Amino acid sequence: MNILLQPWPWYVAGPLIGLMIPLLLLAGNKAFGISSTLRHICAACIPTKAPFFTYNWKAESWNLIFALGMILGGFIAGYLLKNPNPIELSESAVADMNKLGIKNYSGLIPSDIFNFHALLTLRGFILMVVGGFLIGFGTRYAGGCTSGHAIMGLSNLQFPSLIATCCFFAGGLIMTWFVLPYIMNL
């Protein structure tokens, strides 16, 4: 039980994530990917005539059920298998994040930045709302996310996925090194 409560090391978690690919293919010929769920939610919930959202989303309902399972899995891991200790981050990372003004390292995400009060501040609005928008817009524009491109696409030796993954990473580096310090000072 102790092993389940502790954080899982990369060499356990990584291969398990990789196994999602054959599992979904064998279970129903489904390509591993999450970001399409955002499109299905639009198609199912937003009344729109945009051709991008007028398709039979119900035929892709497995993807939404998969996402529902992820919420459930998050609940199981977050409550029943909860790691009682803070994440063991490298000292240099903590030093850098201290400089950004992070004080609370107890949870999975910094509660200093991500909370409902912060939503009303410019910094919180940019990080949560603008950040979320960029994820949703960018992933569909790019044709996939970390799972669909970086893991599924690269496993399947897809050149467009290599380009997309490099750009995911480039965008992340630009944000972390050049933009985030300014946002955190707002």
Binders of another protein in range 43-102 (CB under 8 A): 46, 48, 50, 52-53, 61-63, 65-79, 81, 83, 87, 89-90, 92-93, 96-97
Binding mask 6-45 for another protein (x = CB under 8 A): -xx-xxxxxxxxxxxxxxxxxxxxxxx-xx-xxx-xx---
Q: 28 or 84: whose CB is closer to another protein?
A: 28
Q: Is 186 in the site for another protein (CB under 8 A)?
A: no
Q: Is 113:100 a contact under the CB 8 Å cutoff? A: no
Amino acid letter, residue 106: S
Amino acid letter, residue 153: G
Among 101, 103, 179, 181, binds another protein (CB under 8 A): 179
Q: Is 129 in the site for another protein (CB under 8 A)?
A: yes
Query: How many of the other CB atoms lie within 10 Å of CB of 147?
Result: 18
* Minimum separation from the CB atom of position 177 to another protein (A): 8
Q: How many whole angstroms separate alpha carbon 69 and alpha carbon 139? A: 21
Residue 101 — left, alpha, or beta (φ > 0 → left; ψ -120 to 50 → alpha)?
left
Among 98, 99, 101, 119, binds another protein (CB under 8 A): 119
Q: 121 or 155: whose CB is closer to another protein?
A: 155
Question: Tokens 């891991």 label which residue?
Answer: 77
* Minimum separation from the CB atom of position 112 to another protein (A): 10
Give the list of residues 6+ apart from residue 150 with CB closer than 8 angstroms, or none.
161, 164, 165, 168
Total residues contacting another protein by CB under 8 A comes to 128
Which token pair is 89? Answer: 């981050």
